[in-house]
Amino acid sequence: MAYNRSQAQKLCSATELELFMASLAEEIIQLTPAQLRSKVTRTRTLRDKNADLFRRQVTSTRVDTGAKRGDTGAAQRTDQKTCLFDETLKRFETRLAKLDAQVAATTAKTAKATGSKKSSTQAAVARAPAQPAPPKKSAMKRAVANATAEDALPEKSVTYATGKPILPERSAKAPAFGPTSNAPAAKRATEVSKLVQVRGKNMVAHARSSNANAQAKRDSR
């Protein structure tokens, strides 16, 4: 039997009636999961309290009257409140379970979408070609040295007719025979030698002139 508002008003106090009204269809949909948990705890406490009170009242009535059934008077009212709060508790628990299921489904959907995104990213990274390792410094130095040495070598060209290399043309200012790089050095050495000879002759003449003047002074004394 489902209890209605008018029946609840006859059985419950103002606080208990407020809890019952919150479990009805138009009110329960406005409650958050946290509010539902709080009302579940309060309703369960009231149900268990009235159930325990009903057992004690029945036992006391049997002892006092000797009747087999002790559910008369106050005990019947307590039993009705126990059933009312049991129905209220079930409505709160059903609504809370529904909201928890919705939250779990949303969380699982989000986790699945996130996992799919991560899997796509990991697959793209796995498919990407591996980058070649940079060459070692020693290999780079050898490559640069070889390139420099090759650039320093004179270019050779081969005629298609004879297969012999074509020698570079000789400069018009270069001498016909002998190395050209030694000519300036030899010329400078010759000029220096002549200059040394002239200076040596001048020094000898000056020394002779000084000696002659000194001998003349001595003779005049």
- For 178: left if phi > 0, alpha if psi spans -120 to 50, otherwise beta; the answer is left
10 Å CB burial of residue 53 (0-12, 13-18, 19+) is middle
Nearest to 74 by CA among 90, 59, 57: 57
How many CB atoms lie under 10 A from the CB of residue 100? 13
How many CB atoms lie under 10 A from the CB of residue 136? 9
**Which of residues 167 and 106 earns the better pLDDT score?**
106
Q: Which helix (H) or strand (E) holds 164?
A: none
DSSP-assigned letters across all residues of 177-197: SS-STTHHHHHHHHHHHHHHH
Q: What is the pLDDT of residues 13-22, one digit of tens each?
A: 999 999 999 9
Tell me the percentage of the chain whose pLDDT exceeds 90: 39
Q: What is the pLDDT of residue 143?
A: 66
> In sequence order, what are the beta bridge partners of 158?
165
Instruction: Say if pTM beats, i.e. exceeds, 0.75.
Output: no
Q: State the alpha helices, DSSP H only, in 128-170.
A: 137-152
Q: Is 96 within 8 Å of 36 (Cβ atoms)?
A: yes
* Per-residue confidence band for 177, with pLDDT thresholds at 50, 70 and 90: very low
Phi, psi of 172 (to 5 degrees): -65, -30
Q: What is the mean pLDDT of residues 54-82?
A: 80
Q: Is 11 within 8 Å of 75 (Cβ atoms)?
A: no
* Per-residue confidence band for 132, with pLDDT thresholds at 50, 70 and 90: low
**Which of residues 197 and 84 earns the better pLDDT score?**
84
Q: What residue spans define the domains of the chain?
A: 5-25+34-110
**Which of residues 178 and 121 earns the better pLDDT score?**
121
Phi, psi of 165 (to 5 degrees): -70, 145
